[in-house]
Amino acid sequence: MEPVGTTAADLPDPALQALRLAETYVFGTEPGKIPAVLHEAFEASTDDRVRARLGATLARCWAYAGAHARAVPFADAALAHATATGDDVLVADALDAALATHWGPDELSVRTDLARRLDDVTAHLTDVDVRTQAHLWTLTVALEVLDLPAMNRQMRALELLGEESSRAMFFAASRRLTLDLLRGRTDTAAELVAVAGRALETAHLADGPLVVSSMRAYAAVHSGDRATAAELAQLAEDFAVAEGVRELYAEAAWMWLGAGEVERAISLAATFDAGVLAALPRDFSYLPTLQLVLDVALHAADTDLVARVAPLLAPYAGRAVVASGALMFHGVTDDPLSRAAGLLGDHETATRLRADALAAYTRIGATWWRQRLERWVTGEHAVTEDSQAADSRMTLRPGPPGTWLVGHAGTTTAVPARKGMAHLHALLSRPGSGVDAVVLAGGQVAEGDLGPRADTVALDAYRRRLRELDDALDAADLNGDATAAESLVAERAALLAEVSAATGLGGRARHVGGSAERARVTVRKAIAAAIETIKAADPVVGRHLATHVRTGFTCSYEPDADRSLTWEL
């Protein structure tokens, strides 16, 4: 958080020491004693030049720490003191601080005007750091308003400055990656990360390592490198938890989503309950946080979270979402808002917003984002006439020798063959119908039909209790509670004996604890292992099967009656 134009020659020692301490601040973290030290030096000085620099730095510190209200008076004071000096370098520094302070979602017009003023002030200056800050802000605003020529112009200006300064080169490489990923280019990522890393060796930016990690993470998500995305998602999550950086929870969640770990992603996104969302500061992190959390909620089909977040993002329809300092483009708000409207049943709004999002992506050449939204549309394209709900397509079928193919929405992934795959395939082929575990295991069923003489009410009660016992047996198996399992098996045997007697089957109970019990345990374990394998390759399919497949002495697949599913078997 280095103030531009700072030199040791024109600063008293207390002010210089305070500014050097501020250079150690890491964006978004708790600032500790830094604001107090800056404030003490600010109050002790009557020099407009000193107060301009200290005020601007203090404003940035509070703004980056999420304390907008504390930042505003110091940004205003810095601009007043800088203007009084007539020094354009100081005015540029104060305008930079004002931009950081007015970084909220409702201040785009203010930010646009301040960026224009900063560009005008720095146009004739030779100070590379001052000009770098100006071009960073004008690039950020150009991204926010989707001004493609301005994006290209500011990007080229940063790259030219990079020939003179390692600091400028660092910003040029990281922001070039932003634009390349926006356009669907991932082939430049490795080189740009390397350039940023080399520049950082002499630029000495406190935030630099975090920026490089973000570069690697987003490049991994865009290129489909799940292993790298998972590695960096874990680092981001650890940092977010350790430092309590709320907006980084959303970023880490989105990285987990890119790594294919939907459950990890939604566990972080779900921390944004109604109270947390209401308390989010309307600063630089507000739109990115809502955008990323909503995207994760949509992929996890978490309708409760979608219903909480979408109304907060809706007032900003038509906006581009840009991470701090143009570090990353997160798409346009119309994209997740269209998908949220579709999930919540407002198909007219969904169609309109989707068309707007696709038009915006096409206009600026945002290939990756356009293709991603189009794939989502394809996955939800087929709808039933009655419900107007999306018809999901899921796949579980034999693949090349030694593999099965799993997937959803027309995409498939080959996974290693597991015995439980065949069991799942048999259940999916007969939705809503029970299949005896002995049959799935390859044996025979010795018991006959319950017969027409059984009392219907009593028989229904017996069946309900048998299902409860099956669930309890599964839980006992998972917990390793052999004593409880033995007791439950005995109760089930006694209940079956009563059913047999009541229905006139000669008083002969079904034998359990022998082949049927062994089949129950074997099939349950095989199906559980298969679902875990599927979940690793396609969390959507894996989660659906884990929810809707029942195991026990009788196994079944019980899909939701109100959701249309087409299985490719």
CA atoms within 13 A on the CB side of 130: 22
And the tokens for 102? Answer: 């007015």
* Cα–Cα distance measured from residue 146 to residue 11, given in angstroms and rounded to the nearest whole number: 40
The answer to whether the Cα torsion of 527, 530, 532, 535 is positive or negative is negative
pLDDT in tens, 32-77: 898 898 888 888 888 999 999 999 899 888 888 878 889 889 999 9
Averaged pLDDT, 538-555:
84
**pLDDT value, residue 90:** 93
The radius of gyration of the chain from alpha carbons, rounded to an integer in Å, stands at 30
Residue recorded with tokens 């370098």? 89
**pLDDT value, residue 288:** 95
CA distances to 76, 115, 123, 167, 508 from 120, in Å:
19, 9, 5, 22, 95
Which helix or strand (DSSP H or E) is residue 535 part of? helix 515-537
And the tokens for 508? Answer: 């002969």
Q: Which own/partner contact pairs does 3-8 have at CB distance under 8 Å and 24+ positions apart? A: 3/53, 3/56, 3/57, 3/60, 3/93, 4/89, 4/92, 4/93, 4/96, 4/127, 4/129, 4/130, 4/133, 5/53, 5/89, 5/90, 5/92, 5/93, 5/127, 5/129, 5/130, 6/53
Identify the weakest region by mean pLDDT among 405-409, 435-439, 514-518, 529-533.
514-518
- Examine the pLDDT at 436 and tell me if it is beyond 80: yes
Which residues have a Cβ under 8 Å from the Cβ of 79 and sit 6 or more positions away?
Answer: 91, 94, 95, 97, 98
Which helix or strand (DSSP H or E) is residue 212 part of? helix 208-223
* Cα–Cα distance measured from residue 406 to residue 416, given in angstroms and rounded to the nearest whole number: 10
**pLDDT value, residue 401:** 81
Write down the domain spans for the chain: 392-568
- Examine the pLDDT at 499 and tell me if it is beyond 80: no
Q: Amino acid letter at 328?
A: M
Other CB atoms within 10 Å distance of the CB of residue 254: 28
**pLDDT value, residue 1:** 44
**pLDDT value, residue 293:** 96
* Cα–Cα distance measured from residue 484 to residue 536, given in angstroms and rounded to the nearest whole number: 31
* Cα–Cα distance measured from residue 111 to residue 535, given in angstroms and rounded to the nearest whole number: 45
**pLDDT value, residue 508:** 39
* Cα–Cα distance measured from residue 127 to residue 138, given in angstroms and rounded to the nearest whole number: 17
* Cα–Cα distance measured from residue 335 to residue 217, given in angstroms and rounded to the nearest whole number: 21
**pLDDT value, residue 382:** 31
**pLDDT value, residue 135:** 93
pLDDT in tens, 109-153: 999 999 999 999 999 999 999 999 999 999 999 999 999 999 999
**pLDDT value, residue 517:** 80
User: Quick one: DSSP state of residue 30?
Assistant: -
In 480-514, where does DSSP find H-type helix?
482-502
Categorize the per-residue pLDDT at 384 as very low, low, confident or very high, splitting at 50, 70 and 90.
very low
**pLDDT value, residue 477:** 61
| More confident call, 390 vs 20 | 20
Residue 256 phi, psi dihedral angles, 5° rounding: -60, -40
Categorize the per-residue pLDDT at 6 as very low, low, confident or very high, splitting at 50, 70 and 90.
very low
- Examine the pLDDT at 513 and tell me if it is beyond 60: no
Q: What is the pTM of this model?
A: 0.62
**pLDDT value, residue 337:** 96
User: Are residues 435 and 426 in contact, defined by beta-carbon separation less than 8 angstroms?
Assistant: yes
**pLDDT value, residue 514:** 63
* Cα–Cα distance measured from residue 300 to residue 96, given in angstroms and rounded to the nearest whole number: 39
Average pLDDT, the chain: 83
User: Are residues 135 and 161 in contact, defined by beta-carbon separation less than 8 angstroms?
Assistant: yes
pLDDT in tens, 396-424: 998 888 888 888 766 778 888 888 998 99
Categorize the per-residue pLDDT at 2 as very low, low, confident or very high, splitting at 50, 70 and 90.
very low
| More confident call, 352 vs 408 | 352
- Examine the pLDDT at 482 and tell me if it is beyond 70: no
pLDDT in tens, 180-230: 999 888 989 999 999 999 999 998 888 889 899 999 999 999 999 999 999
